Chains A and B, each alone.
Chain A
Amino acid sequence: MDWFPLWNSLRIAAISSFFVFFTGIAAAYYVARLPRVIKGVLDVVLTLPLVLPPTVVGYLLLLVLGPRRVVGAWFLELFGFKLVMTWWSAIFATSVVIFPLMYRTARGAFEAFDETLSHAGKTLGLSNSYIFWRIRMPCCRQGILAGAVLAFARALGEYGATSMIAGYTPGKTATISTTVYQLWRTNQEQEALTWVLINMAISAVVLLAVNMLERRQRTPQRKERGHGSHR
């Protein structure tokens, strides 16, 4: 059996999750600080890929990255290669599709953060970056991790936008999801079922991880570590 689709799916999901982890957190942090109107508009724009059909996202991406479109043509001329129909083209597609998941969960976590902790840090003379990395992020850790895992799971299952922008070339751009479709289309039911089961197993593990993270978020972390409260 050719394991390439699994490897390809995992690297696409890992790389796009890595990008989205930082961009999503940064967007969540800065959007929350913007004036209300701009915040509302940006929030819609950044969340849109969540509700759009992935094929629409793929179409929009092709409009920008296609070899005869603005960015795509410029890239082709400058570096001599196309942005579409390669394995890493799928990174663009999955990143756009999973961005809203990371952005929204991180924003939810930031909004639940008690701002007085940041105020206290400032009056104690702590730098803004210390407050962000050592106070805000650890306090929002569970929510942010849950968002990252969810985004990774969604990236693993991305089909629509990926198939449009990276296509299906066995051994080159094939992912689990595009392989399942291709195998089913060519009547290779047995092989298709194998990949379906692999995909379900990975997704189940990931969702289990999300549930565990969310449960830990609901019960304050400090109670677990200690020996009960001394109230």
Chain B
Amino acid sequence: MALIVDLEKRLGDFHLQASFRVEHEALALLGASGCGKSVTLKCIAGILRPDAGHIELDGTVLFDSAAKIDLPPQQRRVGYLFQNYALFPHMTVAQNVRAALRHCPRQERRQTAQQLMEIFHLTGLEGHYPAQLSGGQQQRVALVRILAAKPSAILLDEPFSALDACLKYQLELELEAILEDFGGSVLYVSHDRGEVQRHCRRLAVIDNGLVGRVTTLPSLLAHPVTVAEARMAGCRNFTACTIHAGMLKAPAWGLNFPCSKADGTYTLGLPDGAVAPGDILQGQVERSMADDVTATTLLRLSTGETLLLSLPLTQCPSVGSTFSFTPRLEAMLLLPSP
């Protein structure tokens, strides 16, 4: 019993390729905005039609291009939490919830809606219109409305992007409880690694329409295997490099060092953790922004390239001064070229 997704969709120059499987768990799709997260969700919900592929939910085929199956969204039993919650603005909270109960006999709707609203602490708000609610209340109404429709899977599209930071944690706790009770497949789309870490054990990074492998966050942080994963793991500096006869050359950074990997072209990543005292690389500090713990520093190398590093405040150099360090080779990331 799972949500099985394998689809392909072209929209202009954009090419989405998504293949993954969501057990009865919360799986996250982690990626920057515009990388195809929402398109993936819309294909699963039946709002967009994939060009090819197969989508299956708990044994029911929702879409199959070969067998010419394409269930309308109404029959897919897929709940979709939209980024703006998509509450019907001309209906009250109670009417919004009751609208999703149209599968129930008429006389039961009012009572069922009342029960749901009590469970989710919406009593007192039944007569309010969506525009009269706070962002957090709107989200709760949207979730209750989804649950009222009794979905087999829930898709969450950046559920916290529209909320103030101070509200966010309270709501995240509530969502966590709702997801635990739900028990079906949940696909959680976000650009925020912290959110994903709090709600999902497994995740896949999506980059420019391509959904990568499904992995866990600790393993992603420890061993990213693509540039997109490395970027999500916090690495901000990448350059092209070649390995030839046991020597790795990254000309843009002026780096040459022995490397035992197979000859070829790679992308070299320099995460913050690879910065160690030394003088192999030198650059001038162009800009620096400090917070409580670290200073985000823009370093211009003698080759003209820039590096963006988070340095501990204690060793934070001033703007205009020179900063030198030695990259720890074992912490550098050697990734396939995209």
Chain A residues near B (Cβ < 8 Å): 114, 116-117, 119-127, 130, 134-135, 138-139, 141, 220-223, 225-231
Given A122-B46, A122-B47, A222-B90, A229:B82 Cβ within 8 A = no
Q: Interface code B131-163, partner A: CB below 8 Å = 1, 0 otherwise?
A: 111110100000001101101000000000000
Cα A126 to Cα B133 in complex, Å, equals 24
Q: Is B99 an interface residue (CB 8 A)?
A: yes
The 4 closest A-B pairs by CB, nearest first: A222-B129, A120-B86, A122-B73, A222-B131
Q: Interface code B73-105, partner A: CB below 8 Å = 1, 0 otherwise?
A: 111111110101011111000000001101100
Q: Interface code B33-50, partner A: CB below 8 Å = 1, 0 otherwise?
A: 000000000100111000
CB distance from B191 to the nearest CB of A (A): 19
Considering the complex, which residues of chain B in the window 24-68 have a beta carbon less than 8 Å from any beta carbon of chain A? 42, 45-47
Size of interface on B: residues with Cβ below 8 Å to A? 38
Given A135-B88, A222-B90, A119:B80 Cβ within 8 A = yes
> Is B74's CB under 8 angstroms from A126's CB?
yes
Chain A contact residues: helix, strand, loop or mixed: helix
Which residues of A sit under 8 angstroms from B47, Cβ to Cβ? 119, 122-123
> Is B88's CB under 8 angstroms from A117's CB?
yes
CB distance from A56 to the nearest CB of B (A): 41
> Is B132's CB under 8 angstroms from A125's CB?
no
Cα A88 to Cα B151 in complex, Å, equals 54
Residue among B72, B89, B146 making CB contact with A220, cutoff 8 Å: B89
Residue among A119, A123, A138, A223 making CB contact with B90, cutoff 8 Å: A138
Cα A126 to Cα B88 in complex, Å, equals 12
> Is B74's CB under 8 angstroms from A225's CB?
no
> Is B134's CB under 8 angstroms from A231's CB?
yes
> Is A230's CB under 8 angstroms from B45's CB?
no
CB distance from B192 to the nearest CB of A (A): 21
Cα A222 to Cα B133 in complex, Å, equals 11
Which residues of B sit under 8 angstroms from A123, Cβ to Cβ? 45-47, 73-74, 76, 78-80, 149, 151
